[in-house]
Structure 1
Amino acid sequence: MTNATYQVKGMTCGHCVNSVSTEISGIAGVSDVQVDLASGRVTVTSAAPLDPATVRAAVDEAGYDLADA
């Protein structure tokens, strides 16, 4: 298992958290997504390291922006 933390910009409410969680959870190999609304941090647990472009696409699909590392 691998954990990675991302910074997501634009989340302001519980609906935002649910949207981001749902989209990232749909990525193959992802087993858990934890979103901290206050900080904008999203911690993803997956079977193997994820391609950052895949995570960015999921966050974009949810309507938010992945901060540049």
Structure 2
Amino acid sequence: MSSCCTPDGSCSTGATGESIAVADGHTTVYNVSGMTCGHCKSTLTKVIGELDAVIGVEVDLSAEQVTVVSGGEPDDALIAKVVDDAGYEVTGRA
């Protein structure tokens, strides 16, 4: 759990992510555990969004899923690594 998250799963930062508005690209949905709040959403949107070929990222906390739109087939291992380095875990593709 990220340091801004309280034991009840609320977030002390109030940060939010943005929705994907991309017509082109390859969409992949990942199951990700450990996300509980807006800070988690912002963190994953940022770290995944910084990867080459990633066009957009959308995090759905309630479904525990991250949707990645990329210019081609995504590198699952690289996405799993940046998610893990951020303190969360990719448990597979949805």
Instruction: Report percent identity of matched pairs.
Output: 38
How many Å separate the matches in 1 of 2:62 and 2:71? Answer: 27
Question: Does 1 or 2 have the higher relative contact order (CA < 8 Å, sep 6+)?
Answer: 1
Structure 2 counterpart of 1:60, from 44, 64, 84: 84
The runs of at least 4 aligned residues of structure 1 exceeding 6 Å deviation read: none
Where does the alignment leave 5 or more consecutive residues of structure 1 unmatched? none
How many Å separate the matches in 1 of 2:91 and 2:26? Answer: 20
More strand by share: 1
Structure 2 counterpart of 1:23, from 36, 41, 47: 47
The two structures have a TM-score, normalised by structure 2, of 0.70
Residue 2, structure 1, aligned to residue 21, structure 2? no
Letter paired with 1:32: G
* Residue 68 (structure 2) aligns with: 44
Q: Count matched residues.
A: 69
**Larger gyration radius, structure 1 or structure 2:** 2
Where does the alignment leave 5 or more consecutive residues of structure 2 unmatched? 1-24
RMSD: 0.9
Contact kept in structure 2, 1:12 and 1:37, CA below 8 Å: yes
